[in-house]
């Protein structure tokens, strides 16, 4: 009985720790460097977090050339555009790119963004409107209409549940800088 009680307490403690340890994602276009950037923002701090197998999916307008992205990995392992799907029946005006990593140790600081990877589109152009896949809203995997699962997931080594929580500032990238300058006042 004591062993069962100990197991239940440890299991509940594990759920409590997991619930607090989550990672949010965002996508932005960096005008100065002419590239798209994907950031992670954790709700916790941890040195040598064992970032595991993960997928972060990008949704593009169908006007983007049908080719994999050119991805440059910076953190959490080597990232690759593993599974692009162009204009599926479930969303014929959109393309989906599942960018995956097998993971690697990373240092995370609570509420501070960490640049995971960058990418450029075929031809290097900026196309407005790219965003991250929205789990539960964008089309789910279906053999007839949506070939492939593009849900965002972030696993840690040895943990069965995903650390991914939500996307933030995910209204679609822009390709221009809006630099408004207030007029000066004179006497």
Distance CA(104)–CA(73), nearest Å, equals 11
At 124-157, the pLDDT tens digits run 889 999 999 999 999 999 888 999 999 999 999 8
Answer yes or no: are the C-beta atoms of 131 and 58 closer than 8 Å: yes
Query: pTM, whole model, 2 decimals?
Result: 0.82
Pairing state of beta strands 131-132 and 46-61?
Answer: antiparallel
> How do residues 5-55 score in pLDDT, each as one tens digit?
444 444 444 444 445 799 999 999 999 999 999 999 999 999 999 999 999
Cα dist. 161→15, 41, 146 in Å?
10, 18, 24
């Amino acid at each position: 009985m004591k062993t069962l009680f100990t197991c239940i307490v440890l299991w509940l403690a594990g759920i409590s720790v997991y619930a607090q340890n989550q990672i949010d994602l965002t996508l932005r276009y960096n005008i100065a460097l002419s590239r798209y950037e994907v950031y992670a923002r954790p709700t916790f701090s941890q040195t040598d977090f064992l970032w595991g197998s993960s997928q972060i999916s990008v949704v593009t307008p169908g006007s983007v050339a049908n080719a994999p992205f050119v991805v440059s990995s910076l953190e959490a392992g080597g990232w690759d555009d593993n599974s692009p799907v162009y204009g599926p029946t479930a969303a014929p005006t959109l393309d989906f790119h599942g960018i995956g990593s097998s993971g690697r140790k990373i240092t995370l600081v609570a509420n501070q963004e960490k640049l995971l990877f960058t990418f450029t589109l075929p031809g290097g152009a900026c196309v407005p409107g790219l965003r991250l896949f929205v789990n539960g809203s964008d089309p789910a995997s279906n053999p007839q209409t949506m070939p492939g699962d593009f849900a965002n997931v972030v696993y840690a080594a040895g943990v069965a549940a995903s650390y991914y929580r939500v996307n933030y500032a995910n209204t679609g990238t822009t390709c221009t800088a809006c630099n408004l300058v207030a007029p000066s006042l004179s006497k």
